Amino acid sequence: MSGSITAGEEARLSPSLHTRRLQLRMLTNEDHAPLYRLSSDPDVTFQWRFRGTTPSYDEFLKQLYPGVLCQFVVSPHGSQEVLGLVVAYNADFRHRFCHAAVVMHPSLHRRGLGIEAFMGLARYVYYGWDFRMIIMETVGIAFQNFSSGEEAGYFTVEGRIRDQFYYGGRYWDGVSVTHRRDQFEKAMQGPVGQLLTPGRRVKVPPAPR
Amino acid sequence: MSLDEFKAWFVTEIEWSPAEITEDSDLVEDLGMDSVGAVDLIAAIEDAVGGEVIMPIELLLQITTVRDAYLQYCALAHLPYESEVPR
């Protein structure tokens, strides 16, 4: 293939693990303890795989990798701080899809950083595999944090299981969402696409003591 | 851009914004901002200061109200560049 590509196309075609504010990086042994703590955070655990139960550290580690296609710790640029985890798992190579999950520290919810981390994962997955879609299963209480993306066309709600999960004194729907390759391409044209473009960092003065 | 000009800009540029806002409007509680809305807002502020500058996580986490968004817009417009984000 010949011809020049635009900056937007270059960003889309890059397998980079850097997004605008974040880096997706390989898990190391040092990340296991912070991830274990994150998995047991009361604001996270009921929406992550352990659903409020408290597995041993060894059991947590055993379940960290089975079924995983690729997973990355989410950190700020230039730091090893664990802000979250993005995972692509249960890949189906015959039908060309995989599942994905994003977990972020509760202090970062509703800031767009989960979407930024997910877009970094989606770029990596769509770059490396000829998948048609990425499927996410979520709980209604988490879905409301990004539900406006359906109207924007970033994803499609494929189904709901009414009152599937008990959490916080009530039942919440289970929500199945697909993010298809063409929706990824479309998202890259707007503000969400800006999350994957490089830029200039500014020097933030230290907070007053 | 003054705070009043920023509010007018906010209502015009942020698609999910209601027509009436105040500087004390809480973005999540009063205006219904979710994560997708936060992405829209941050991208619009970055565009307003030229598009290349990245809103750092430290500033982003300080935004709760419309006034906070204005203050971080002002900060972003005047902070010195530090480095390029690697590709």
Residue A83: domain span: 16-136+182-194
Q: Measured between alpha carbons, how far is B44 from A20 in angstroms, rounded to an integer?
A: 14
Q: What is the mean pLDDT of chain A?
A: 88
Does any domain span residue A156?
A: no
Question: pLDDT for B17-59, tens place per residue?
Answer: 988 999 999 999 999 999 999 999 999 999 998 878 899 998 8
B59: chain A residues, CB-CB within 8 Å: 204
Question: pLDDT for A132-190, tens place per residue?
Answer: 999 999 988 888 889 999 998 999 999 999 999 988 889 999 999 999 999 999 998 88
Does any domain span residue A168?
A: no
Q: Measured between alpha carbons, how far is A52 from A139 in angstroms, rounded to an integer?
A: 13
Q: What ipTM was reported for this prediction?
A: 0.87
Pairing of strands B53-54, A200-202: parallel
Contact A122, A100 (CB under 8 A): yes
pTM of the model: 0.89
3-state helix, strand, coil in chain B (%, to 5): 50, 10, 45
Q: Spelled out in words, what is the top-level CATH class assigned to the domain B3-78? A: mainly alpha
Domain ranges of chain B: 3-78
Residue B2 touches partner A, C-beta closer than 8 Å: no
Count structural domains, chain A.
Answer: 1
DSSP for residue B18? -
pLDDT of residue A13: 61
Question: How many beta-carbon pairs below 8 A join chains A and B?
Answer: 110
Does any domain span residue A174?
A: no
Does any domain span residue A46?
A: yes
CATH number of the domain that residue A123 is part of: 3.40.630.30
Question: pLDDT for A101-127, tens place per residue?
Answer: 999 998 888 889 999 999 999 999 999
